[in-house]
Amino acid sequence: MFPVFSLFRKKTTPVDGTFSMLATDMHSHLVPGIDDGAKDLQNSLDLIKRLSQLGFKRIITTPHVRPEYFPNTRETILSGFETLKAALSANRSEIELGVAAEYFVDFEFMEYLEKEKLLTFSGGKVLIETSTIAAPPNFQDIIFQLRLSGYQPVLAHPERYLHMDLKTFQKLKELGCQFQVNLMSLAGHYGSKVKKHADLLIQNQLVDYFGTDCHNTQHTQVLAEIANDAKLVRKILDCQPQNSDLGLT
Ligand SMILES: [Fe+2]
C-alpha cells in the first residue's frame, strides 16, 4: 500500500555527485606553476582528472593576472597552456580545455586595458576580480570601458566582496557586468558572511554562472561534498546558470 507519509514527504533533488548539469567550468587555476593554483604539470593533470570526475566536460582555466603578485602575460599563460594541452592529449584525456585569465582590477587597470589585448573566452568574455577590502573608485568606469572596448566583463565571486551591497550589484548589472558565484561559497568555504552574500545574489536572481575557482586538491574535495548535497544542488539548478552555453573561445 502507498504509505500516507510519502504524500507529505518533501520533494528532493536527485543527485549523482557531479556538476554535469553545469558541463562547463570557467574559473580555475590549472596552468602549472604560474599562480597560486596547480604547482606542477602532474598536479594540473590530477586536478583536471578530478574535475572531469566531478562531471565537467569543458574547462576554461583562468590564471591570475595581478602585476605585483602574479605578473603573468599573454605569453606566460599561453605557453603554459600549450604544455598542459600537449600533456592532456598524450594522456588521451577527453576534457575540452580552454584558457583565459582572471584579471585583478585596481585603479591602474584602465591603463592596462589601453595597452593590452585581454585573454577572453566564449566570444569576448573577460573574467575580472577586485580587492575583497574595497573596489577602486573607478570600478564602474572600468566596467563601462570594458564594454565600450567590446569585452563582456564577468565578475568573479561577487559574493566575496562584502563591501558591495545589493544596490552596487544591481548597478554593475545595469552596466552590463555578468556575475560568477563560486560553488564553494554555497557551502560556507569562505565563511558565513560570504555564504549569506551569495544567497543575496541568488535571491535577487543576479547569478549568471557558477565556477569552481579550483586551486588545489582540497578544493576538489569541497566541490565533491557540494555535488552530493541535494539542497545545494537544488539551489544551483534554481538559478538556471548559463555555464553550458559557454564556449572555449
Ligand atoms: Fe580565481
Structural element, H or E, at residue 181? strand 178-182
CA of 104 to the centre of ligand 1 (A): 10
CATH of domain 19-244: 3.20.20.140
Weakly modelled stretches of the chain, pLDDT under 50: 1
> What integer pLDDT is reported at residue 8 of this predicted model?
55
> What integer pLDDT is reported at residue 221 of this predicted model?
98
CA 47 to CA 37: how far, in whole Å? 10
Measuring CA to CA, which residue among 14, 10, 56, 9 is closest to residue 246? 56
CA 164 to CA 214: how far, in whole Å? 23
CA of 29 to the centre of ligand 1 (A): 7
> What integer pLDDT is reported at residue 14 of this predicted model?
77
CA 166 to CA 171: how far, in whole Å? 9
Look at residue 154 and give its three-state secondary structure: strand
Cell numbers found for residue 10: 518533501
> What integer pLDDT is reported at residue 11 of this predicted model?
61
Query: Side-chain half-sphere of 243: how many Cα atoms within 13 Å?
Result: 29
CA of 12 to the centre of ligand 1 (A): 32
Alpha carbon of residue 204 to chain centroid? 19
> What integer pLDDT is reported at residue 152 of this predicted model?
98
- The whole-model pTM stands at 0.94
CA of 94 to the centre of ligand 1 (A): 24
Look at residue 194 and give its three-state secondary structure: helix
CA of 167 to the centre of ligand 1 (A): 24
CA of 25 to the centre of ligand 1 (A): 12
CA of 121 to the centre of ligand 1 (A): 15
CA of 220 to the centre of ligand 1 (A): 14
> What integer pLDDT is reported at residue 13 of this predicted model?
74
